[in-house]
Amino acid sequence: MTSISRDSLQWQSAVNTFTSIIISGLVTILVAGYITYTQFNDIQLDQVDLFIYVGIAIAILLVLAALFAARSYIELSRPLEHLEQITQSLPLLSSKKYNDTRNALKQLESKSQHREINQLHFATLQLTSVLEKLDANVNQRSDVIRAQNEVLEHERDFIKSLLDTAQLIIFTIDEDFEITLFNDFAEKVTGYKETDMLNTPVSRMFPAGNWTEAQSYFKELLANNLPIAQQDAELIDVEDHIKEISWLHSRIEGMSDNAVILSVGLDMTEKKAAEKRIVWMAEHDPLTDLSNRRKFTDDFEKSLQTAIRYQHNNALLFLDLDQFKDINDTSGHKAGDDLLKAVAKTLQKVTRFTDLVARLGGDEFAVLIPETDDEGTTILAKKILEELSLIQLQYGAVKHKVSASIGIVHFPLLDASIHELLGFADLAMYKAKSSGKGTYHTFSVDDQTQEQLETRVFWKHQIEEALENNSFILNFQPILDIKSNTIRHYEVLIRMRDTQTGEIRMPGKFIQIAEEAGLIHSIDHYVLRHAMMKMASLQKQGTDVTFAINLSGSVVDDPVVLPLIKQLIKKHGVKPENLIFEVTETSAVSNMQQAKKLMDAIKVLGCRFSLDDFGVGFSSFNYMRELPVDIIKIDGIFIKDLDKNADDQLFVKALIDVAKGLGRKTVAEFVENKEILSLLKKYGVDYAQGYYIGRPENEILGSSDWNHPT
């Protein structure tokens, strides 16, 4: 039994029992004494005896009360002690000491005879088991939740890292069009901090002209009317610089069933600038920065059509520098380049901003003048000649002056096309040159009648005679496989031998006349026959070579060429995979659908196609994708100065990257030195062609191994 405490329930029960018995006994004694004293008068008790009796009664009462109180105390002590032990074990449950609780409760098993205490003991044991199971479940659930939280935190950190390291502008906006996420790259591009952007209107990311479109997309996305929206827009950064951004907006489901918009932006600023630069390069002469022949041709056609439609009188000035070759020969190509630059600056200075100045190639320039008359054109021609005469270049002891001959043609002129007008201007220029240096001549219809017709008739006769007498000869220019440093690939080039003098004529002299006279198809057929005969002969000798055969621009309209190629392949037994047909970019795109149809039909035979003179227009990149060609031959204008011109290097690298991406092989022509070849190898060009590799010859090389020229 535990020590007696006056605060215990046992003690208080014993005291209450004792007090109750005493009070009850005293009352009983007093009542009994009073009744006895009043009712039984015959009983004579002296006062002393009465006090003795009362004292004895009270003593007995006190003893009995004490005994009853002790009994009450003892009877209550054990169950209350059990109850106290149970009560003391309950705090162990809050501390999750379930085993200690069980051990404490085990000591009370079978000790109590009280049903209530036993029920409480059993209930406490049950509570312990239930709480232990609940705690185990909570711990297990907590472990699962903790693991899931760790996974979510890892995924969150990964996604945040992904968003922040991605080289894309990424932000999200809510239904109020306010920014709720802003990644690191967005900070880098815009210059704004994430803290400055969060919970601010997204409209600040778009100029007013683009915001209307963006807002319309956002509304459609939030309404779930669009799954995704693409937008090209400008962005003004913190320093007011304009960025070109390509946006992709999409709807994603957020929390609480609220949709948000994810906007991903690709910074296209540098790419757009590079594209503009490539477009500019494709349309301009890299030496003088004037428009090149391609752009001039396009603008000339537009100028002619405008003049016809609105009955304007426009004019073309065709300039050829006098004795330019002498300057190159005496002072070198740098002097020639400096002279061409000086001429270009002079032409730009004396012409109006509405005039188009172009370098057509070599020392030939052209000026398109809209809405002018004979007097205005004459004044400009005189002004040009006067300003050119002031140019003086000195290299060492040699001083060069500049003069030019100018041919003028006004248009519209009858039904003449731009090519005919350019021919008329060229004819007028030669008229001026024949009159002496530094003069001009205006074309008239009478100028062309005799001289031009005589030239046409002469060359037409020469072509017909060459076809009849097999006076055309084929040359073979080697093409180097840069990676293997071997030559098994040749371009077939046509030449004409003058039957009277034996002089070799280059194709530039007769091809245009052949096209105009309708003889170009015959020349194509001649080259096909003799090239395949040569290939068959080499195959019989055990020499396996590939021939690149040039086809004219008119070949797409030749109904005979496809059956002829089939017939020749079968007749001579040549390997079709060793045949490459080259067409110029200009001829291929002049009739795109017909060209594709012909190419597909010839490729079915196993032959390949090469696109020649590639790169003279930005639209070339589209043609590369559209036309079923295997090889891209980069125009020599971008190769001949590759080792000195950074713009050419930029363009060639871009062109090669695009060609590789489309699975096309590349050939660079006009490779004139070791430095250019080294650059081409570095850029990943597949083949090289030019005088540094080898000049066109009547026969192919004796060995496929190529040795660098010394």
Per-residue model confidence as pLDDT tens digits over 182-195: 998 999 899 999 89
| CA–CA gap between residue 317 and residue 425 (Å, rounded) | 7
Three-state DSSP state, 316 = strand
Question: Is pLDDT larger for residue 275 or for residue 566?
Answer: 566
Token readout for 136 is 């185990």
* Distinct helix (H) and strand (E) counts, the chain: 22, 21
Question: What value does the mean pLDDT take over residues 667-676?
Answer: 93
Least confident interval from 46-60, 137-151, 202-216, 638-652: 46-60
Please name every residue paired with 546 in a beta bridge, in sequence order, or none if there are none: 489
Structure tokens at 255: 């929390």
Task: Compute the average pLDDT of residues 5-33.
Answer: 67
pTM: 0.44
Residue-level pLDDT at 167:
85
How far apart (Å, rounded) are the C-alpha atoms in residues 416 and 316?
13
Query: What is the C-alpha to C-alpha distance for residues 61 and 54, in angstroms, rounded to an integer?
Result: 10
At residue 365, φ and ψ (nearest 5 deg) are -130, 160
| Closest CA relative to residue 263, chosen from 251, 243, 248 | 248
Average of per-residue pLDDT across 620-631: 76
**Residues contacting residue 163 through CB under 8 Å, at least 6 positions apart:** 170, 181, 183, 184
* pLDDT greater than 90 at residue 58: no
DSSP code for 287: T
Give the pLDDT band of residue 257 (cuts 50, 70, 90). Answer: low
Please give the backbone phi and psi of residue 652, each rounded to the nearest 5 degrees, phi first: -65, -45
Pairing of strands 179-182, 259-267: unpaired
CA-nearest of 208, 206, 251 to 227 is 251
What pLDDT, on a 0 to 100 scale, did the predictor assign at position 618?
44
Cα R_g (the chain), whole angstroms:
54
pLDDT at 279 over 90: no
Compute the mean pLDDT over every residue in the chain, rounded to the nearest whole number: 83
- Mean pLDDT for the stretch of residues 136-140: 84
Q: Which residue has the higher pLDDT, 623 or 467?
A: 467
Neighbours of 564 (CB within 10 A): 17
d(CA 612, CA 586): 9
pLDDT digits (tens, 9 = 90+) for 81-112: 666 667 767 777 777 777 777 776 666 655 55
Query: Among candidates 89, 263, 70, which has minimal Cα distance to 178?
Result: 263
Tell me whether residue 347 is exposed, middle or buried, using C-beta atoms within 10 angstroms of its C-beta: 0 to 12, 13 to 18, 19 or more.
buried
**Structure confidence at residue 111 (pLDDT):** 57
The domain over range 459-689 is classified in CATH as 3.40.190.10 = no
As given in the structure block, the two tokens for residue 337 are: 């380049």
Q: What single DSSP character describes residue 437?
A: S
Q: Which CATH class is domain 289-445?
A: alpha beta
Distance of CA 401 to the CA centre of its chain: 51
DSSP code string of 71-121: HHHHHHHHHHHHHHHHHHHHHHHHTT-HHHHHHHHHTTTTT---HHHHHHH
Least reliable range by pLDDT among 10-24, 163-177, 574-588: 10-24
**Greatest CA separation found in the chain?**
195
Q: Which residue has the higher pLDDT, 99 or 674?
A: 674
Instruction: Map out the domains of the chain as residue ranges.
Output: 79-162, 166-274, 289-445, 459-689
166-274 in CATH: which number?
Answer: 3.30.450.20
Q: Which two tokens stand for residue 475?
A: 């040359």
- How far apart CA 34 and CA 41 sit, in angstroms, is 11
Question: If 0-12 CB within 10 Å is exposed, 13-18 middle and 19+ buried, where does residue 236 land?
Answer: middle
Q: Average of pLDDT values for 295-322?
A: 93
Mean pLDDT of 393-398: 77
Give the C-alpha separation, 579 to 604, whole Å.
12
The predicted pLDDT at position 271 comes to 85
SS3 content of the chain, % helix, strand, coil (to 5): 55, 20, 25
69 SS3 class: helix
pLDDT at 161: 73
Output phi, psi for 267, to 5 deg.
Answer: -75, 105
Q: What is the pLDDT of residue 226?
A: 87
Encode pLDDT of 214-249 as tens digits: 999 999 998 888 889 999 999 988 888 889 999 999
Rounded to whole angstroms, the Cα distance separating 10 from 84 reads 12
631: exposed, middle or buried (C-beta count within 10 Å: 0-12, 13-18, 19+)?
buried
Question: Hey, what's the torsion of the CAs at 292, 297, 298, 301, to 10 degrees?
Answer: 150
Residue type, 351: T
- Residue 529 is predicted with a pLDDT of 92
Check: CB of residue 501 under 8 Å from CB of residue 526: no
CB 407 within 8 A of CB 317: yes
- Tens digits of residue pLDDT in 441-483: 998 876 654 566 567 667 777 888 888 888 899 999 999 999 9
> How many Å apart are CA 180 and CA 173, to the nearest integer?
5
Sign of CA dihedral 163, 164, 169, 174: positive
- Comparing 300-309, 505-514, 600-609, the range with the smallest average pLDDT is 505-514
Measured over the CA atoms of residue 181, residue 184, residue 189 and residue 195, the dihedral's sign is positive
Q: Under DSSP, is residue 368 helix (H, G, I), strand (E, B) or coil? A: strand
